[in-house]
Amino acid sequence: MMWMCVAVFLLWLRSGGCTEKANTSELIEYTAADFYEKLHSGKMMFIYFEHQVSPTISLFLLELEKSADALQDYGVLVGKVNCDKQLVQAYCTQERERHTAFLFRGGKEFLGFDLDTVFDVNSIVSEVLFAILREEVKYVHTDTDLLAMEKAARGKKDIVLGYVRSLGTQEHRSMMETAYVYGSKYQFILITGGPVLKHLGVDESSPSSQVWFLHCRVHSKLPLSSERCPLTRMRKPLSTLSLHSFLQLMEAPVVSEVYDDPSSVQPPQFPYQQTPQVFLFSRPATKQQDLDTATALAWRLRGLALLLLVHRQSPAVKTPDEYNAAYRLPEKSSEVKYLTLNDHDEVLELFTNQEKEEEDEEDDEGWLEDEEWLEDEEVDSHFAKLDDEIAASVYENRGNFPDMDSITQLTSDNFHTAVSQSSLMVALFYLKWDAVSMAFLSSFIEVAERLEGSEVQMSAVDCGEWTDLCAAQSSLPIPFQPITAFPCVLLLRPKEPAQLYRGMLGSEALHRFILLSLQASPVLLSTKEEVTWFLQEVPRPELAGYHPDRVMGLFKTQLHTGVSLFTEAAKSLRGEMLTGLLTNGLAEKWAAEHSMELPAVLVFPSWRTHTPPSTLPVSTSSEELLTHIHSALLHPLPELTVENLPSFLSLGKALLLLFVGEEEDEIGRKQNQALVEEMRGVVEVGGGRMEQYLACWIHLGRTPAGMSVLGSYLGTMPPLPALVLTHLPSGDEIYQFPPNTPIVASSVLQWLQRIQGGGVSAAGMLGEDSWPPAVEFLDFLKIMDIQEPDSAQQQTPEEEEEEEEEDSKEEDVDDSSSHSDTFHNNPHSEL
């Protein structure tokens, strides 16, 4: 599971990241020449001039490395200069530079930051952005300062006022990131304390950050206008996502006038779908008065609900005259509740009392049926903190929907025609609200642009809109089974079953798979030149530098029973490797020249270039042949990467895994090479005893994610090289070869024998193979798997008769009790 997390993490990193991106690459180290070149180019840079590295400085450099991707999104280069290697006269000679990081802008030093103020990712990003936006983001301390800002903004801009307890926090970062995006539209003001909080009704000892929206741009049009701009408080915890949603809600119309019955009015559309609707009714005789009343109430409801004024003059309005208000809550979009109110303040109380009800659940009369919605509001505040990073990235970039001009949009109407007219159609089935789908969509479009002008037709299906097509429901035959996992890529050819792409969700892997799929599978080889081409040449110029695995079947005649089995297996391997078929006299001649008997299947792994191929007998089924082919392609000592690990784990063998570090010089390279050769000796000397293990190695320089894996295995980072035995089929134990002991074949084999005999203690345990829900209310499986009570177990006839008598007595129990029992005993019915 650790490796799956790493794979998902790398996919997320490629998709563009989010507010908390981590940089897996090393921190860029600039030479003095590089630094001056970047400086004179005028680019913004955040640079630390490194001297001797203490433990504190080492921690700072790790956080600086993580902040590189986040600041890159805002046009800031992040790096370091090693003063021991490259002397930058102005910054490498004084003591103060050792505890300072510098921001450069416009070709000169802009600001210096003491390392005590930029101690982690949040503080680095927030402080750098705060410095860049120092002219755009104002700071106020007193109510007089705020009043002056309101007067200056009146009729020009609305104000976003944020209170954070201290600078450098996640909340401060959220404010700065939002200010960077919306700074030209709103005036941002930051406060960290002072008398101004009293005007805002905030206790300075309160630990929670808050945001207010001051409506200054349309100040003159507001009812009861005064010298102060009316303000709306954001009720959700401060985060980048919640602040973005809040600002969008502030752009909603104050009052919307409708001429339909509330039950016919559409629920709020994106991005207001989580906002309640309040309906007031207007009569022709009092139209202007009703509009003024609705406007006044709408401003009081700002940020809580959307107000709609329903004109009764329309014949479409069927609501009885006895009702003068109605409302609709989120998640109950089809249900409208009607009210008869004596005072519009009662509508206000419906929503403002939420906060009191959350604090005091005992007073639940009056709005009992709406408590579920109040709980949803609490859930939303958790989601603002718990949303996974890919989803957060997609959410933040949802306004920048990728350009899909290079791909065909498939629908239920044009699907069959499009497939029949294309020799190869690659179709992506996705959901707009699925984060991984949207992250992969960019890679898919990139591949489409690279294949533009080729015979490949790239297409996509929005399964949220064309549910019947994705469910394979059509009057005409559909060449695939219902799509149940997203995103999903299928290769479609006329009158052929669909082929599923099972590779990595990245542009390179998909592009390579499609190009290999353009080759026939198997390729029919009829001349000696074609055989030579098949074994030695790259099938397409776009694959230059890539060496695919190759499999060739040799049979005396086309009518041999093994030909059909080989052809079926070759179709399953299409896109993954090249397959060729050689028959008749040419096959016999080729077999004679290479001293082999027919029929035969030859496997040419890409890693084996100077040795004869593996020869496989013809199997009794295509499935058995595929198993033999994959076994023959397996490297005796593979180097693990994130891309190939899943295929190795699927073998179900224990991993004998060697971790080697990155080489600094030729001596280090030779040492690592010697270690790998020694591990190869373990496989060769061990012979049959090694069948239960997969001996492999990982180069931490090429796969740096392996460092966190090794650390999680043992609880700490051991000295390198390190040899561990893990993923045992018999248990979760992790064993470490004694550190600082030479890794030689004989010692490793003896160590494995002692482990089998129980003579070695485990150095660690694998983590639980699960992704538990972040909070209890997300544990849907637990709810669904509630066990039936003991009484539901098998009973004797006498017990059943007694239970029937008890059931007849319980028929008179009131409805609420019955409903409660139904919920507990039959949880699936509620879900």
Q: How is 488-530 classified by DSSP, letter by letter?
A: EEEEE-TTS--EE--S-SSHHHHHHHHHHHTS-SSEEE-SHHH
Determine if the peptide bond prior to 271 is cis (ω within 30°).
yes
Q: How far apart are CA 125 and CA 539, in angstroms?
A: 48
Distance of CA 192 to the CA centre of its chain: 33
DSSP state of 695: E
Q: How far apart are CA 448 and CA 463, in angstroms?
A: 20
Helices 2-15 and 705-714, axial angle in degrees (round to 10): 150
What proportion of the chain, given as a percentage, has pLDDT over 70? Answer: 81
With a CB cutoff of 8 Å and minimum separation 6, the contacts of 158 are: 186, 187, 213, 214, 215, 216, 217, 229, 250
Question: Are the CB atoms for 115 and 121 separated by under 8 Å?
Answer: no
CA distance to 496, 515, 528, 561, 778, per residue, from 524 (Å): 19, 18, 12, 17, 55
Q: How far apart are CA 312 and CA 319, in angstroms?
A: 9
Q: Which of 219, 251, 213 is nearest to 154 (CA)?
A: 219
Q: What is the pLDDT of residue 716?
A: 74
Q: How far apart are CA 14 and CA 506, in angstroms?
A: 8
Instruction: List the structure tokens of 638.
Output: 């593979």
> 3-state SS string over 264-320?
HCCCCCCCCCCCCEEEEEECHHHHHHHHHHHHHHHHHCCCCCEEEEEECCCCCCCCC
Distance of CA 56 to the CA centre of its chain: 32
With a CB cutoff of 8 Å and minimum separation 6, the contacts of 224 are: 296
Q: Which of 747, 725, 664 is nearest to 700 (CA)?
A: 664
Q: What is the pLDDT of residue 394?
A: 54
Q: Which of 120, 105, 134 is nearest to 41 (CA)?
A: 105
Q: How far apart are CA 53 and CA 478, in angstroms?
A: 63
| Burial degree of 481 (CB within 10 A; 0-12, 13-18, 19+) | exposed
Beta bridge partners of 457: 425
Q: What is the pLDDT of residue 730?
A: 81
- Any idea which residue has 């954070």 for tokens? 164
Domain covering 401-513, topology: Glutaredoxin (3.40.30)
> Whole-prediction pTM value?
0.47
Question: What torsion do the CA atoms of 499, 502, 503, 506 make, to the nearest 10 degrees?
Answer: 80
Q: How far apart are CA 543 and CA 548, in angstroms?
A: 9
pLDDT in tens, 571-588: 989 988 899 999 888 888
Q: What is the pLDDT of residue 381?
A: 41
Domain covering 519-633, topology: Glutaredoxin (3.40.30)
Does domain 135-219+226-251 fall under CATH 3.40.30.10? My reply is yes
Q: Which of 732, 739, 699, 693 is nearest to 716 (CA)?
A: 739
Q: How far apart are CA 128 and CA 113, in angstroms?
A: 9
H helices of 687-775, where? 705-714, 745-756
Q: How far apart are CA 812 and CA 297, in angstroms?
A: 46
Domain covering 32-133, topology: Glutaredoxin (3.40.30)
Instruction: List the structure tokens of 586.
Output: 């040419």
Q: What is the pLDDT of residue 786?
A: 58
Q: How far apart are CA 524 and CA 659, in angstroms?
A: 43
pLDDT in tens, 449-474: 989 888 899 999 998 888 888 988 87
Distance of CA 477 to the CA centre of its chain: 34
DSSP state of 760: S
Q: What is the pLDDT of residue 12?
A: 37
Does domain 257-347 fall under CATH 1.10.1200? My reply is no
The single-letter code of the amino acid at 467 is T
Q: Which of 489, 496, 412 is nearest to 447 (CA)?
A: 489
Q: What is the pLDDT of residue 161?
A: 93
Would 257-347 and 519-633 be classified into the same CATH topology?
A: yes
The list of the chain residues with pLDDT below 70 reads 1-26, 96, 204-205, 219-226, 332-333, 352-401, 545, 767-831
DSSP state of 119: -
Domain ranges of the chain: 32-133, 135-219+226-251, 257-347, 401-513, 519-633, 644-765
Q: How far apart are CA 46 and CA 50, in angstroms?
A: 13
Q: Which of 542, 541, 616, 544 is nearest to 579 (CA)?
A: 616
SS3 414: coil
Instruction: List the structure tokens of 384.
Output: 């603002």
Domain covering 644-765, topology: Glutaredoxin (3.40.30)
**Helix, strand, coil share (%) of the chain residues, nearest 5:** 40, 20, 40
